[in-house]
Amino acid sequence: MSTAQEYVEPEVISDTKKYIAEAIGTFVLVFAAVGTAVFAGDKVGNLGVALAFGLTLLFLVYAIGPISGCHVNPAVTIGQALLGKLTALQAVLFIVAQFVGGLVAGAVLFAIANSLPAYDRSVDGLGANGWGPHSPSAIEGPLGGVLENGYGITAAIVVEILLTALLVFVVLASTDQISDVPLAGVSIGFTLVVIHLVSIPIDNTSVNPARSLAVAPWQPGAMGQVWLFIVFPIIGGALGALTYRGVFGRYDRLDS
């Protein structure tokens, strides 16, 4: 998979550098964006959290995009692999790097949150995804516990498939050579903003298995539901790649 740096430098970027870039990029995405939700969510609201995700991805596109293509998301990597831009081994190693970067970020977020005496992870959580009693729209009682569940599993499945498909389609379409590639980061970043505005109230927005797995171990109840936020974003990513293939009609015209 050719990247911008490979067009301007005589030597080919090593796969190792790409994996390192993906790990660093996923760490930054989880730490900055989920960190905004955890540390400042009550101050900035859903709009602020959505902007944190979108703007973080935007600057990462320009920061590490020339090295690795800035997937920072297994769903995007799988979409690229389905189009033949990565070998199976490269895709697996990209995804491993993304999960490692995300898990390290999750551990750092928990360490910081846990240093606040008032923090209670059973109550405050760590920005994990969930449905039913773990949906952000669940109604809690005055003495704790859930009085009424939030959005159900079907809603979570539908939004994760559709919104991940949208994200992957925009990533592929924006980096196609017939597009205005220098503006790709803007379109991709603001797509992620809109995605979060739609789905934060439903399941806290995943569209990225690495983001979900990164914080699930630190929030009670999240590990039992994290499978959905791994499986269905991947299905959505594949759908987005196939939609791109159907609309643009070629496999071999991507810039990154």
What pLDDT is recorded for position 179?
67
Q: What global pTM score does this model have? A: 0.91
pLDDT means over runs of 10, the chain (256 residues): 52 91 98 98 97 98 95 97 94 98 98 96 93 94 83 98 98 83 91 98 98 97 97 98 87 49
What pLDDT is recorded for position 4?
54
| Straight-line distance from the first to the last Cα atom of the chain, in angstroms, rounded to the nearest whole number | 6
**Cα angle value 65/180/198 (rounded, 5°):** 75
Q: Which domains does the chain have, with CATH numbers?
A: 15-247 (1.20.1080.10)
Cβ atoms of residues 32 and 56 within 8 Å: yes
What pLDDT is recorded for position 176?
84
What pLDDT is recorded for position 144?
72
What pLDDT is recorded for position 93?
98
What pLDDT is recorded for position 35?
98
